[in-house]
Amino acid sequence: MLHIIGLGLADEKDVSVKGLEVIRKAERVYLEAYTAVLLVDQAQLESYYGRPVILADREMVESKSDEILAGADEKDVAFLVVGDPFGATTHTDLALRCRQHEPPIPTRTLPNASILTAVGATGLSLYNFGQTVSMVFFTEDWKPSSFYDRVAENTGLGFHTLMLLDIKVKEPDLKALARGKIIYEPPRFMTVAQCASQMLEVEEERKQGICSKEALAVGVARLGSDDQQIVAGTLEELAGADLGKPLHSLVLCGKKMHELEWEYVRGFAMDQKKFDDVWKQSYKA
Amino acid sequence: MLHIIGLGLADEKDVSVKGLEVIRKAERVYLEAYTAVLLVDQAQLESYYGRPVILADREMVESKSDEILAGADEKDVAFLVVGDPFGATTHTDLALRCRQHEPPIPTRTLPNASILTAVGATGLSLYNFGQTVSMVFFTEDWKPSSFYDRVAENTGLGFHTLMLLDIKVKEPDLKALARGKIIYEPPRFMTVAQCASQMLEVEEERKQGICSKEALAVGVARLGSDDQQIVAGTLEELAGADLGKPLHSLVLCGKKMHELEWEYVRGFAMDQKKFDDVWKQSYKA
């Protein structure tokens, strides 16, 4: 059986008791290590589990899944995923391959905390969120702005938007690659400030008022850990905020923001008077 | 400190290792028992935790929170929540009361699995969901149809809609109450079939084609447990489906349903040929 096990958000102890029992008995243990990361490293996980952990990068999961699934029709294989197993579509693909395997491989999924719900720590109601939107790193000549249309769909209905921020792990260094060498760039994680800046940059072009300087937003970092940080402010303020180590996410507030949500969120405001003023002027029903 | 601890979805072993450590050391342990329920009872939790568990009903949490918070500025109190702590707004209220307490009570939240993300087990992409919508039990003379407008907002943009179904625990028997006696009705949990029927009933009135008989939907029951069940079909088919014991939820599929989502969901279809036909005719891009 393939056990797809959510690890939660922060460290080795966020796994469920049930998940830990499976990991400790499994024939092999893989860790999906490219759509999200924990705040602890592989060695710490291995020491806590008492088991070797095989890092599964994108290439292994998407092109060499046979390695992962080998023997799983008879023995237990654990595939660990940071957050909840269904946060990324790639894990549904893996389950689909198990179903189509000959003989079929039974799968079992152990859900866990996800940023999609942990973001409720901001005080924003999970009932008021629209679709989740991804933000990728802009480069000099590639600034995809399709996120703006998705955010606009949400804001049109007054919904909040959770923005999931790009991470780059194990990206080949293109200059080295051109010289025939495979060297990986150091990992990069988008910050709240970078996301806010990119949103403002696209607003400059589109000018529909979806991601304006005065739009209220909430930045979060390391949610679910003792070290979590939540900062609320305008997008302009957040573009200058430093929330420290990864992972970061950002929520753009929708106009439906209820008074009870505001009352909680304002406790995280960088400049509470400004936050209240903007809320009263542009958000309050 | 008040520790608000998510228990996950199924049984006593879905708590995180970290959460279990807190529960076993806390001065008092409360279980919020009115917005959702686990598949195991209080006695099983107490036996596993090795601690007495105090059931907190709506009245205690909303009107007598002082009892829960007593001494929490100095000692550790655990407040257990089925699923994720932020699934229901009432828990944010509790955190807000801690913040406003004199002296302030520090809070810490341990996230866990929620139906909002566990629903990814259907194969539907979590990125394609709009707002979450609640469905309450209709009575003879009270059939609130505001859910229909919310669902329409989602379907207008092609989003899926997760419907969270009403549960009634500890409801006073009104006839007994009129005779001056407080007797509680047996707990009731809305089924997928009841939800689908109510949706069709409101469609009959509104006729906007939002919840039509041929709309595709997915019913889920006991997600996250070994006994979980997933059934896909038209709303008309689901109105006749029996998914067994609670808790149930329903997803109304949005028109944006991608081919990859369809490929996975059809594995759960009550009538695969019909499911495929409807998808090809009305959903496929």
Structure confidence by residue, pLDDT tens digits, B146-187: 999 999 999 999 999 999 999 998 788 888 888 888 888 888
Q: How far, in Å, CA of B27 to CA of A115, rounded?
A: 29
Q: Do the domains A116-283 and A2-113 match in fold?
A: no
Q: Which of B13, B18, B113 sits opposite A84 (nearest CB)?
A: B113
Q: Which of residues 137-196 of A touch B (CB under 8 A)?
A: 153, 157, 159
* Percent over 90 (pLDDT), chain B: 81
* Percent over 70 (pLDDT), chain A: 99
Q: What is the pLDDT of residue A182?
A: 85
The ipTM assigned to this model is 0.93
Contacts of A109 in chain B (CB under 8 A): 121, 224
For the domain spanning B116-283, the CATH number is 3.30.950.10
DSSP B140: T
pLDDT, one tens digit per residue, over A90-107 is 788 899 899 999 999 999
**Most B CBs within 10 Å: which of A80, A86, A251, as the mutation test of the B interface?**
A86
pLDDT, one tens digit per residue, over A212-261 is 999 999 999 999 999 999 999 999 999 999 999 999 999 999 999 999 99
| Residue written as token pair 């959770």 | A162
Residue contacts between A and B (CB atoms, under 8 Å): 168
Residues 6+ apart with CB under 8 A from A251: A119, A122, A124, A160, A161, A162, A163, A217, A218, A219, A220
Q: What is the pLDDT of residue B175?
A: 85
Contacts of B8 in chain A (CB under 8 A): 16, 111-112
**Most A CBs within 10 Å: which of B40, B127, B132, B153, as the mutation test of the A interface?**
B127
Any A CB within 8 A of B100 CB: no
| Pair type for strands A133-135 and A161-165 | parallel
Beta strand extents in B94-135 (DSSP E only): 107-110, 133-135
How close A277 comes to chain B (CA, Å)? 21
Q: How far, in Å, CA of A107 to CA of B228, rounded?
A: 12
Q: Is A129 left (phi over 0), alpha (psi -120 to 50) or beta?
A: beta
Q: How far, in Å, CA of B182 to CA of B185, rounded?
A: 10
Any known ligand binding at A87?
yes
Residues 6+ apart with CB under 8 A from B128: A131, B158, B159, B160, B254, B256, B257, B258, B261
Instruction: Kindly report which listed range (B37-46, B109-118, B248-257, B268-277) carries the lowest average pLDDT score.
Output: B37-46
Q: Which CATH number fits domain B2-113: 3.40.1010.10, 3.40.50.10240, 3.40.47.10, 2.40.50.100?
A: 3.40.1010.10
Amino acid making up residue B175:
K
Any known ligand binding at A73?
no
Q: What is the 3-state secondary structure (H, E, C) of B195-259?
A: HHHHHHHHHHHHCCCCCCCCCEEEEEECCCCCCCEEEEEEHHHHCCCCCCCCCEEEEECCCCCCH
Please tell me the total number of residues recorded for chain B in this structure: 285
Judge: B130–A127 Cβ closer than 8 Å, yes or no.
no
How close B132 comes to chain A (CA, Å)? 5
For residue A203, name the pLDDT band (cuts at 50, 70, 90). Answer: very high
| Pair type for strands A77-81 and A28-32 | parallel
Tell me how crowded residue A181 is: count the other CB atoms within 10 A of its CB. 10
| Model confidence at A61: pLDDT above 90 | no
| Model confidence at B83: pLDDT above 90 | yes
Q: What is the pLDDT of residue A213?
A: 98
| Model confidence at A89: pLDDT above 80 | no
Are the CB atoms for A4 and A109 separated by under 8 Å?
yes
Average pLDDT, chain A: 94
Residues 6+ apart with CB under 8 A from B10: B38, B39, B40, B222, B224, B225, B226
User: What pTM does this model have?
Assistant: 0.94
pLDDT, one tens digit per residue, over B230-259 is 999 999 999 999 999 999 999 999 999 999
Tell me how crowded residue A88 is: count the other CB atoms within 10 A of its CB. 22
User: With b meaning 16 or more CB within 10 Å and e meaning fewer, what string describes A53-73?
Assistant: bbebeeebbeeebeebbeebb
**Most B CBs within 10 Å: which of A9, A17, A24, as the mutation test of the B interface?**
A17
Domain boundaries, chain B: 2-113, 116-283
What's the token pair of residue B8? 């996950």
Burial classification of residue B205, based on how many CB atoms lie within 10 Å of its CB (0-12 exposed, 13-18 middle, 19 or more buried): exposed
Judge: A130–B128 Cβ closer than 8 Å, yes or no.
no
Q: What is the pLDDT of residue B230?
A: 98
Alpha-helical segments (H) within chain B: 17-25, 42-49, 58-63, 65-69, 89-100, 115-118, 146-156, 174-178, 192-206, 235-238, 259-265, 272-278
